[in-house]
Amino acid sequence: MTKPRATSSRNAHETVPSVASSIEADLESRINARCVALVRTLEQLETDTRGDVAAARATLTGTLSELERIIQERLGGGWASLADQVRIDLEHWLAESASQLEVSMKDRLS
């Protein structure tokens, strides 16, 4: 029977930043994809003059402004230094923007 090899503390510490940077890269790519979707939706709603669509445009614009505020005020060190609370705020932004995007799509189709 062979003994399991002990993992050096150096190897264990190397894995943690790798996992963290992977999570940050995934979050960044999901944020970027959502921004593209929001901007495209805004562009599609631009010519519609109905009141409910104008409200949807204002909501989507506000959503993008909120992301801009989070990034400017709380992501000063870049994606590599993402604090837990900022990560939580960005995940919350993603969830909120998904529901707003869904409502905007329904407005466009009605």
Residues in the chain: 110
Nearest CA to 101 among 48, 68, 63? Answer: 63
CA–CA separation, 80 vs 104, rounded Å?
A: 32
Which residue did the predictor score with more confidence, 4 or 98?
98
DSSP letter assigned to residue 30: H
CB burial of residue 87 (10 Å; 0-12, 13-18, 19+):
middle
Q: Quote the mean pLDDT of the chain.
A: 80
Q: How confident is the model at residue 10 (pLDDT cuts 50, 70, 90)?
A: very low
CA–CA separation, 13 vs 76, rounded Å?
A: 25
What's the chain's Rg over C-alpha atoms?
20
pTM of this prediction exceeds 0.85: no
- Is residue 18's pLDDT more than 70? no
Per-residue pLDDT tens over the stretch 64-78: 999 999 999 988 778
